[in-house]
């Protein structure tokens, strides 16, 4: 016998009943985002590698170490998307969306791929749900997005910590800050990892979110972007914070929050959870403003802001066992004999057409086994259909909770079930 083939490490199957909990979580996200005016976008999983190299940044951990990149049959370099912002920006430019509408609000849900070291809540294929808003420069829009997230986790009772916010400034702020950071880091160069020594020259901001040097006293003492913002950037950040306060959102300013992408320009934020199921404290959501990305990728100058949440992490932190999310059948029809089995299908088709959830036993097994299955499926009611019931057009409808039985006309099942 040959060895069974296993799934790829870090890429998981999603099976029932877990898929029911996922479905619930995803539906709640979609409903909430749509109530805020976001419309769904779907883009391909594969993109040209250059999209992420340019969009996310050559010196980021994701682009340097974590992408699934390969050549196709014609030797073109393709990458399985590690995130969606770059793909949304590509689509926004490619379809000339800016010419069609002044404000664009998109949401997406789907798998992302990063070759990361695995732990609880960190996988190589993982799912994100996120939003991107193009065309609004006013800082109220990031406050609205954050409020939407806080509402989401509140409604779902996902325990989350106060929102962490920071501003990392844009093109106008960078030169000053970069100079201050490099001047500080240079004397400490030998205390940093090899990658960071290199990044000091190419992209010093990335030193601040290096996973190897995380926790190093050198990084803890580094100058903070917030102290080097231009007046205009500081005012924008303060305005966003003031809106959050007005909305009653609990947040903390974390001057060390930098996020691992080059595209951010202003306010950035994360929401973390310390739910025990996640093991260590970890990020449920990350996002921020990226006002320069669309133009730098060849589109018209367009302010933009967005976030993505990790679905696996949301599910791990969401209270309730997976089984609690599985919808139970309204009716289980047990069948005795072939004629009854066939007629059960006719009844089931009618009831399903009326919106009821009906399960029919197709296997010729004993009644006891059939009713046991009805119990296992947690059906609300059951019905036994045999030759006698077919002839009389009446059958006993059993409430599976109380075990009480009532004889009912098969033609009146809809109203009987609706009464329960």
Number of residues that bind ligand HAM (CB under 6 A): 25
Interface residue with ligand HAM, options 278, 308, 334, 344 (CB under 6 A): 308
Interacting residues with ligand HAM between 93 and 122 (CB under 6 A)? 114, 116, 121-122
SS3 39: strand
- Residue span binding ligand HAM (CB under 6 A) among the ranges 36-44, 279-287, 322-330, 346-354: 279-287
Alpha carbon separation from 83 to 60, 106, 250, 266, 271 (Å, rounded): 13, 14, 27, 19, 17
CA distance 199 to 59: 7
Per CB under 6 A, the list member of 79, 85, 104, 164 interacting with ligand HAM is 85
From the list 41, 54, 79, 83, which residue makes contact with ligand HAM (rule: CB under 6 A)? 83
Tell whether residue 288 is a contact of ligand HAM (CB under 6 A).
yes
CB nearer to ligand HAM: pick between 267 and 383: 267
- 153 SS3 class: helix
**Are the C-beta atoms of 164 and 252 separated by less than 8 Å?**
yes
- CA geometry: angle 73, 74, 77, nearest 5 deg: 90
Judge whether 86 and 20 are in contact, CB under 8 Å: no
Residue 291 touching ligand HAM (CB under 6 A): no
> Least Å distance between CB 387 and ligand HAM?
56
Choice from 22, 126, 153, 177 touching ligand HAM (CB under 6 A): 126
163 binds ligand HAM (CB under 6 A): no
Q: Does 306 bind ligand HAM (CB under 6 A)?
A: yes
**Residues 97, 100, 101: CA angle, nearest 5 degrees:** 90
The CB-of-102 to ligand HAM minimum distance in angstroms stands at 20
CA atoms in the 13 A half-sphere facing the CB of 379: 27
CB-wise, 67 or 383, nearer to ligand HAM?
67
Q: Is 292 in the site for ligand HAM (CB under 6 A)?
A: no
Task: Choose the binding region for ligand HAM from 78-86, 171-179, 209-217, 404-412 (rule: CB under 6 A).
Answer: 78-86
Closest distance to ligand HAM from the beta carbon of 209 (Å)? 10
Q: Which residues pair with 271 in a beta bridge?
A: 285
**Does residue 285 bind ligand HAM (CB under 6 A)?**
yes
CA angle 98, 102, 103 (to 5 degrees): 100
DSSP state for residue 241 in the 8-state scheme:
H
Please, which residue, 153 or 332, has the CB nearer to ligand HAM? Answer: 153
CA nearest to 180, candidates 245, 227, 217, 110: 227
- In the complex, least distance from residue 95 CB atom to ligand HAM, rounded to whole angstroms: 18
Q: Which stretch binds ligand HAM (CB under 6 A): 79-87, 90-98, 153-161, 323-331?
A: 79-87
Q: Please, what is the minimum distance in Å from the beta carbon of residue 125 to ligand HAM?
A: 8
Laid out side by side, the sheet with 251-253 consists of: 39-40, 104-113, 125-134, 304-310, 282-289, 267-273, 163-167, 251-253
- Among 87, 128, 273, 302, contact with ligand HAM (rule: CB under 6 A): 128
Q: For ligand HAM, which residue has the nearest CB? A: 310
Rounded Cα–Cα distance for residues 337 and 323 (Å): 32
Check binding of 132 to ligand HAM (CB under 6 A): yes
Q: How far is the CB of 11 from ligand HAM (least distance, A)?
A: 11
Q: How far is the CB of 130 from ligand HAM (least distance, A)?
A: 5
In the beta sheet, which residues pair with residue 359? 332
* Sheet containing 358-360: order of strands: 358-360, 331-335, 381-385, 394-399, 405-409
- Under the binding rule (CB under 6 A), the answer on residue 283 touching ligand HAM is yes
Residue closest to 90 by CA, chosen among 317, 297, 380, 340: 297
Smaller CB distance to ligand HAM: residue 119 or 349?
Answer: 119
Q: What is the DSSP letter of 402?
A: T
Nearest distance from C-beta of residue 307 to ligand HAM, angstroms: 5
Report the nearest approach of ligand HAM to the CB of residue 128 (Å). Answer: 5
Q: Does 293 bind ligand HAM (CB under 6 A)?
A: no
The answer to whether residues 401 and 380 touch, using CB atoms and an 8 Å cutoff, is yes
The answer, yes or no, to whether the previous bond of 218 is cis (omega within 30 of 0) is no
DSSP state of 119: B
Q: Does 287 bind ligand HAM (CB under 6 A)?
A: yes
- Give the separation between CA 351 and CA 360, rounded to whole angstroms: 12
In angstroms, rounded to a whole number, what is the distance separating the alpha carbons of residues 49 and 67?
9
| Binding residues vs ligand HAM (CB under 6 A) | 83-85, 114, 116, 121-123, 126, 128, 130, 132, 283-288, 306-310, 312-313
């Amino acid at each position: 016998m040959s060895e069974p083939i296993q799934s790829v490490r870090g890429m998981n199957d999603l099976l029932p009943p877990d898929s029911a909990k996922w479905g619930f979580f995803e539906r709640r996200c979609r409903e909430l985002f749509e109530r805020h005016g976001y419309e769904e976008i779907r883009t391909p999983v594969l993109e040209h590698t250059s999209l992420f190299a340019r969009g996310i940044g050559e010196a980021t951990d994701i682009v340097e170490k974590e992408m699934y990149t390969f050549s196709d049959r014609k030797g073109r370099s393709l990458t399985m998307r590690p995130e969606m912002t770059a793909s949304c920006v590509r689509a926004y430019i490619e379809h000339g969306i800016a010419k069609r509408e002044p404000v664009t609000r998109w949401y997406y849900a789907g798998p992302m791929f990063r070759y990361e070291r695995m732990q609880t809540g960190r996988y190589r294929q993982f799912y994100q749900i996120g939003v991107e808003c193009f065309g609004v420069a006013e800082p109220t829009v990031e406050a609205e997005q954050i409020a939407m997230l806080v509402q989401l986790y509140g409604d779902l009772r996902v325990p989350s910590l106060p929102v962490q916010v920071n501003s990392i400034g844009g093109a106008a702020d960078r030169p000053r800050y970069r100079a201050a950071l490099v001047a500080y880091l240079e004397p400490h160069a030998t205390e940093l990892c090899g990658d960071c020594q290199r990044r000091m020259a190419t992209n010093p901001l990335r030193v601040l979110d290096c996973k190897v040097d995380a926790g190093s006293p050198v990084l803890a003492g580094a100058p903070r972007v917030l102290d080097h913002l231009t007046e205009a950037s500081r005012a924008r950040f303060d305005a966003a914070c003031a809106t959050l306060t007005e909305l009653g959102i609990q947040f903390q300013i974390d001057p060390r929050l930098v996020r691992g992408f080059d595209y951010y320009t202003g306010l950035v934020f994360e929401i973390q959870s310390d739910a025990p199921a996640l093991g260590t404290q970890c990020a449920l959501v990350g996002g921020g403003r990226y006002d320069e990305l669309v133009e730098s990728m060849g589109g018209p100058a367009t302010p933009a802001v967005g976030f993505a949440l990790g679905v696996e992490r949301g599910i791990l932190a969401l209270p309730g066992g997976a089984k609690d999310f599985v919808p139970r059948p309204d009716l289980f029809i047990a069948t005795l004999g072939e004629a009854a089995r066939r007629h059960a299908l006719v009844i089931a088709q009618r009831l399903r057409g009326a919106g009821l959830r009906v399960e029919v036993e197709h296997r010729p097994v004993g009644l006891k086994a059939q009713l046991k299955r009805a119990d296992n499926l947690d059906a609300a009611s059951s019905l036994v259909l045999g030759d006698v019931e077919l002839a009389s057009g009446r059958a006993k409808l059993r409430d599976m909770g109380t075990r009480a039985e009532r004889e009912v006309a098969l033609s009146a099942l809809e109203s009987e079930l609706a009464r329960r």
